[in-house]
């Protein structure tokens, strides 16, 4: 019977892997959607240049890192190359006025937010049946770099990494645990959880640690640092793929099953910090402790229920918005998913539907 069980598990895993792949493919943005978004970026860039001629408008986040789903929002970052540039606050105010006058976008400038941005949206049209949502920020160079890091990880093993990340993003949205404003985790946070799992938990690892591979030639502090943060990582993916191959041969389904099990049972939420750069760290070592009772630590505790270190801004907890209730819900969802997959329904497609109910 153990042999029969083994065979049935193998059958499930193979079928589930194929299902995941087919499911994810139909959620990818269409060529048309990508083309419309690029047109929108160019149009906005042209308009911004009437205010700051030396500016460039670059795309970051999922539209630029290979983890984008159909109708995902557009994250844009404006870089101004001149010395005496306007402040982000002034840019947001002026750009807000300009876009309101010149375009059909619904415009909401937030000049006094912690990170000043202009929020834009466009009503549905034939090319964009669900409209478009877009945030424009300024000088957010670290976000451009972490987008490039995520893109490099996606390129190392496109099938397994992208399928896992895209599935997880859909799953988190459908299960309603993807709203930092409501105490759960951002998409960026979920992507980091997947990468942490593939780099540091899986043995043998599915991905190398790009931030710890030594550079091929000596590089200066100036080249590696941005705003006081070390942003160096090995980015010659073509060379890497020639010289490095993962010894891990598990398919997407096996990895996903293990992922849910790890985050429902094994990750040490109360004391641990997931860091894609440095592996598993402790809250204590980062001064993010959460088990102190004094009221002075209350705020610290509330913000550090769940800890995910940003790959470059290592003093920044990407999961700082996750509340006590939010974490409880997220862990509950990891357990639910784990339970569904462990019960191995007759058909893989049924498991998939149940997961994303």
Q: Could you list the residues that contact ligand GTP (CB under 6 A)?
A: 60-62, 67-69, 72-73, 75, 142-143, 146-147, 169, 186-188, 310, 313, 318
Query: Do residues 177 and 183 touch, judged by C-beta distance below 8 A?
Result: no
Q: How far apart are CA 91 and CA 49, in angstroms?
A: 11
Contacts of 12 (CB under 8 A, 6+ apart): 253, 344, 348
- Please give the distance of CA 154 from its chain centroid, rounded to a whole number: 11
User: By C-beta, is 74 or 95 nearer to ligand GTP?
Assistant: 74
Which partner from the list ligand GTP, Mg ion, none does 147 bind, CB cut-off 5 to 8 Å by kind?
ligand GTP
The region of 53-61, 210-218, 226-234, 335-343 touching Mg ion under the rule CB under 5 A is 53-61
Q: Which helix (H) or strand (E) holds 333?
A: helix 324-343
* 249 dihedral zone (left: phi>0; alpha: psi -120 to 50; beta): alpha
Spell out a b/e string for 156-166, using b for 16 or more CB atoms within 10 Å of the CB, else e: bbeebbbbbbb
Instruction: Report the nearest approach of ligand GTP to the CB of residue 33 (Å).
Output: 13
User: By C-beta, is 141 or 261 nearer to ligand GTP?
Assistant: 141
Which stretches does DSSP call E strand in 269-309? 272-275, 279-282, 308-309
Instruction: Report the nearest approach of ligand GTP to the CB of residue 185 (Å).
Output: 9
Which partner from the list Mg ion, ligand GTP, none does 137 bind, CB cut-off 5 to 8 Å by kind?
none
Which partner from the list Mg ion, ligand GTP, none does 143 bind, CB cut-off 5 to 8 Å by kind?
ligand GTP
61 binds Mg ion (CB under 5 A): yes
Instruction: Report the nearest approach of ligand GTP to the CB of residue 181 (Å).
Output: 12
137 binds Mg ion (CB under 5 A): no
Instruction: Report the nearest approach of ligand GTP to the CB of residue 120 (Å).
Output: 14
Which partner from the list Mg ion, ligand GTP, none does 33 bind, CB cut-off 5 to 8 Å by kind?
none
Instruction: Report the nearest approach of Mg ion to the CB of residue 69 (Å).
Output: 10
Which partner from the list ligand GTP, Mg ion, none does 253 bind, CB cut-off 5 to 8 Å by kind?
none
Query: Do residues 62 and 187 touch, judged by C-beta distance below 8 A?
Result: yes
User: By C-beta, is 68 or 163 nearer to ligand GTP?
Assistant: 68
Which partner from the list Mg ion, ligand GTP, none does 232 bind, CB cut-off 5 to 8 Å by kind?
none
| Other CB atoms within 10 A of residue 95 CB | 26
Give Cα separations from 231 to 57, 143, 245, 288, 314 (angstroms): 21, 11, 24, 22, 10
Q: How far apart are CA 249 and CA 246, in angstroms?
A: 8
Q: How far apart are CA 46 and CA 220, in angstroms?
A: 35
Q: What are phi and psi of 106, to 5 degrees?
A: -80, 125
Which partner from the list ligand GTP, Mg ion, none does 329 bind, CB cut-off 5 to 8 Å by kind?
none
User: By C-beta, is 231 or 318 nearer to ligand GTP?
Assistant: 318
- Residue among 110, 52, 39, 50 nearest 78 (CA): 52
> Which of 41, 60, 67, 75: binder of Mg ion (CB under 5 A)?
75
Give the bridge partners for 226, in sequence order: 229
Instruction: Report the nearest approach of ligand GTP to the CB of residue 149 (Å).
Output: 9
User: By C-beta, is 27 or 43 nearer to ligand GTP?
Assistant: 27
Query: Do residues 337 and 353 touch, judged by C-beta distance below 8 A?
Result: no
DSSP SS3 for 242: helix
The total number of residues written for the chain in this structure: 357
Instruction: Report the nearest approach of Mg ion to the CB of residue 77 (Å).
Output: 12
135 binds Mg ion (CB under 5 A): no
DSSP SS3 for 227: coil
User: By C-beta, is 35 or 115 nearer to ligand GTP?
Assistant: 115
User: By C-beta, is 147 or 304 nearer to ligand GTP?
Assistant: 147
Instruction: Report the nearest approach of ligand GTP to the CB of residue 67 (Å).
Output: 5
Sites of contact with Mg ion (CB under 5 A):
61-62, 73, 75
């Amino acid at each position: 019977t153990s042999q029969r069980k083994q065979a049935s598990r193998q059958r499930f895993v193979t079928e589930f892997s194929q299902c995941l792949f087919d499911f994810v493919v139909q959620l990818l943005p269409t060529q048309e959607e990508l083309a419309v978004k690029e047109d929108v970026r160019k149009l906005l860039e042209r308009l911004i240049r009437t205010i700051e001629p030396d500016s460039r408008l670059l795309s970051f986040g999922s539209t630029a890192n290979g983890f984008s789903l159909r109708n995902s929002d557009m994250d844009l970052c404006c870089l101004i190359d001149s010395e005496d540039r306007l402040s982000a606050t002034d840019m947001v105010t002026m750009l807000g006025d300009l876009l309101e006058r010149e375009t059909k976008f619904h415009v909401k400038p937030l000049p006094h937010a912690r990170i000043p941005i202009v929020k834009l949206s466009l009503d549905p049209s034939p090319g964009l049946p669900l409209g478009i949502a877009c945030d424009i920020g300024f000088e957010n160079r670290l976000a451009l770099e972490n987008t490039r890091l995520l893109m490099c990880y996606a390129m190392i093993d496109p099938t397994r990494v992208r399928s896992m990340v895209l599935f997880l993003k859909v799953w988190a949205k459908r299960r309603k645990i993807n709203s930092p404003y409501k105490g759960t985790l951002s998409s960026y946070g979920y992507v980091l959880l997947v990468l942490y799992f593939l780099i540091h938990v899986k043995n043998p690892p599915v991905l190398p640690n790009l931030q710890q591979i030594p550079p091929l030639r000596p590089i200066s502090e100036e080249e590696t640092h941005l705003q006081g943060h070390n942003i160096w990582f090995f980015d010659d993916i073509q060379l890497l793929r020639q010289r490095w191959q993962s010894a891990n041969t598990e398919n997407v389904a096996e990895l996903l099953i293990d992922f849910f099990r790890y985050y429902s049972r094994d990750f040490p939420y109360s004391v641990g910090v997931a860091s894609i750069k440095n592996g598993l760290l402790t809250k204590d070592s980062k001064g993010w402790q959460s088990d102190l009772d004094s009221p002075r630590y209350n705020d610290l505790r509330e913000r550090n229920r769940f800890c995910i270190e940003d790959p470059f801004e290592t003093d920044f907890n990407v999961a700082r918005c996750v509340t006590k209730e939010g974490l409880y819900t997220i862990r509950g969802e990891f357990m639910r998913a784990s339970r569904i997959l462990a019960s191995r329904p007759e058909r893989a497609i049924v498991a998939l539907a149940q997961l994303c109910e």
